[in-house]
Structure 1
Amino acid sequence: MGEDRQATFGSDGSLDTETPPEAREGTTDWGEPKADGETDGGYNRYDVSSLLQKAVRRSDEEVAAWAAWELARSGYAWNLWDRLNLYVVEDLRAGQNVALLVERYETLATDRWEPDSWKGRVCAIHAALACARAESSREASNADEFFRNAAAARAEARESDDDPAVDFPVGDLEVGGEFDVAFDKHTADGSRLDRGDRFFKLFGARVGPEGEDEQSARWQRLNMALSDIDYDEAEVAHAVEPVSPDDRWSDPMEFDGDNDD
């Protein structure tokens, strides 16, 4: 299995990592007894669950709505909500507010109402539509897989004393390197280098490339003016200057070391 949570197959004894009971109670739409893992419409619930994910990923609203409805009405609401909550982190672009909506719809459907009732089914449809309408992306899953592969390549290269074919985006992460700004007063190396409040204000607290809004920049300037540290005009300007979108990690100002703590 490893970390692949999608390895759940059919109802014929194949692999299933989900433990809640099957919704066998009742009959199909044509009055036949339901088999294990069968929906009211006579579908395999694993297939419907997989279809729901692909519909969300491909932004097919109608298919996503139907799949959610079919699972909810068939007694597989636990499966539906488990998968939808996974989809918002696996198949949507980071920052989509739909994650909060899905949680709210689930609470309404399962805590306030019966999951397979009319209200519960409508909540399921709402949640599926919200996911399908959100911006799809496999970025988090792709990043996780790449970082794991890079870690393996790094470890293999170290065994053979070679350079890795692919490395982490930060390389060795060391003082004086590209990401030197990370070594401020909040790290042991930064403290040893006397990088106190001055270093943090000038370099570690910078944002961008959009920069601070005017109110935040104004507060930063006032904080530096009220500080016990004597900042000059160039330092104050640098502290609130946006980082460059083309070179986010360089800081051209010199710093000699000043333990201001």
Structure 2
Amino acid sequence: MADGDDRQATFGSDGSLETETTPDATGENDFGEEKEANETDGGYSRYVVSSTLQKAVRRSDEEVAAWAAWELARSGYAWNLWDRLNLYVVEDLRAGSDAALTIERYEELATERWDPAEWKGRLCAIHAALAAARARSTREASNADAYFSAVAEVRAEARERGEEPAHDFPVGDLEPEGRFDAVFDGHTGEGSKLDRGTRFFKTHGARVGPEGEDERSARWQRLAMLLDEDVEYDAEELDRAVEPVDPENPWRDPAAAACDEEGSGDDGESGDSESGDSESDENDDTPTGSLTDFGE
């Protein structure tokens, strides 16, 4: 639940721990004893069970994760359970996992359709915990956040000393004509000043990869460019627009890469050789403006 963190623990003016126990979490434990604040039906601290849940899903221990979810749900701490599982989604789950949507659906069923402490609600809790435990665990988001935050401090301290930082962000200063030149298209102030409009965006900023466009998407892209009444593209630009990025260097411009390859021959000569003419002959059927080349 959204207010889960607010209900975990607070401290009074005298420094004593104050806790809030929901009505569903009151009553007797399994031993017939009146439950204390933040005690589960099994006689455990809900803080410990909650921590056990997250550590279990992080370690892919399905049985312990399922028990911890069940214990919290049946004890009236479903809000704590779902808060913890949603925290796992953003803190410990590999990005793109379907488990995130699965957990969200189980929470919706348990809290909006059924009573979270009753049988169906408990089943949802167990299912969600199992989905979390079976998903690929990773601390990549948390690690990235910690790393980028540390680098930010290093950069700021270096600037104050007038020095180059020992560690920097992966984009460096992020300036035009640099490694990430493709980002400075007409959508940025710098790109607009450089008069980088549709042509630059289509041939640089809109490229995808490293898988590239599939055959149909590439055909649509080429046709849309050929039908553009404002910009006339040549064959090289049409090819560049649909060329997948290099998985080893996704920011490298294909034209620059071609120049590097042409200038690195074994005989030391430039790329303007007979082999280059031969390549042009082979590409004579490359569309240069005729829509018939893109027919069915």
Same fold at TM > 0.5: yes
Contact 1:55–1:63 (Cα < 8 Å) also in 2: yes
Structure 1 segment 50-199 matched on structure 2, within 5 A: 50-199=51-200
- String of CA shifts for 1:105-156, please: whole Å, max 9, x gaps: 1111011100100000000000000011111111111111111111111111
Separation in structure 2 between the aligned mates of residue 97 and residue 88 of structure 1, nearest angstrom: 10
Contact 1:23–1:36 (Cα < 8 Å) also in 2: no
Contact 2:21–2:38 (Cα < 8 Å) also in 1: no
Separation in structure 1 between the aligned mates of residue 22 and residue 168 of structure 2, nearest angstrom: 44
Contact 2:22–2:76 (Cα < 8 Å) also in 1: no
Structure 1 residues 14 and 157: alpha-carbon distance in aligned structure 2, compared to 1, 3 A threshold: farther
Q: CA RMSD in A?
A: 2.1
Q: Which has the higher contact order (CA 8 A, sep 6+)?
A: 1
Q: Letter of the 2:27 partner, please give it.
A: G
1:42 aligned residue: 43
Separation in structure 1 between the aligned mates of residue 148 and residue 172 of structure 2, nearest angstrom: 12
Separation in structure 2 between the aligned mates of residue 14 and residue 226 of structure 1, nearest angstrom: 70
Contact 2:240–2:254 (Cα < 8 Å) also in 1: no
What SS does the aligned partner of 1:30 have?
Answer: coil
Q: Give the deviation of 1:215 after TM superposition.
A: 1.5
Structure 1 stretches of 4+ with a deviation exceeding 4 A read 8-16
Structure 1 residues 194 and 246: alpha-carbon distance in aligned structure 2, compared to 1, 3 A threshold: same
Q: Give the deviation of 1:170 after TM superposition.
A: 0.5
Q: Give the deviation of 1:21 after TM superposition.
A: 3.6
Q: Letter of the 1:142 partner, please give it.
A: N
- String of CA shifts for 1:148-168, please: whole Å, max 9, x gaps: 111111111111112212111
Separation in structure 1 between the aligned mates of residue 217 and residue 71 of structure 2, nearest angstrom: 49
Matched, 1:248 2:253: no
1:259 aligned residue: none
Structure 1 residues 10 and 186: alpha-carbon distance in aligned structure 2, compared to 1, 3 A threshold: closer
Structure 1 residues 24 and 81: alpha-carbon distance in aligned structure 2, compared to 1, 3 A threshold: closer
Separation in structure 1 between the aligned mates of residue 153 and residue 68 of structure 2, nearest angstrom: 38
When normalised by structure 1's length, the TM-score is: 0.89
Please tell me whether Structure 1 or Structure 2 has the larger radius of gyration of its CA atoms. Answer: 2
What SS does the aligned partner of 2:255 have?
Answer: coil
Contact 2:182–2:205 (Cα < 8 Å) also in 1: yes
Separation in structure 1 between the aligned mates of residue 142 and residue 88 of structure 2, nearest angstrom: 11
Q: Letter of the 1:197 partner, please give it.
A: T
2:235 aligned residue: 233
Structure 1 residues 91 and 181: alpha-carbon distance in aligned structure 2, compared to 1, 3 A threshold: same
Q: Letter of the 1:211 partner, please give it.
A: G
Structure 1 residues 15 and 158: alpha-carbon distance in aligned structure 2, compared to 1, 3 A threshold: farther
What SS does the aligned partner of 1:253 have?
Answer: helix
Structure 1: gaps (5+ residues): 255-261
Identity, % of aligned positions: 66
What SS does the aligned partner of 2:109 have?
Answer: helix
When normalised by structure 2's length, the TM-score is: 0.79
Q: Letter of the 2:56 partner, please give it.
A: A
1:258 aligned residue: none
2:292 aligned residue: none
Question: Which has the higher mean CA deviation after the structures are superposed, 230-239 or 71-80?
Answer: 230-239
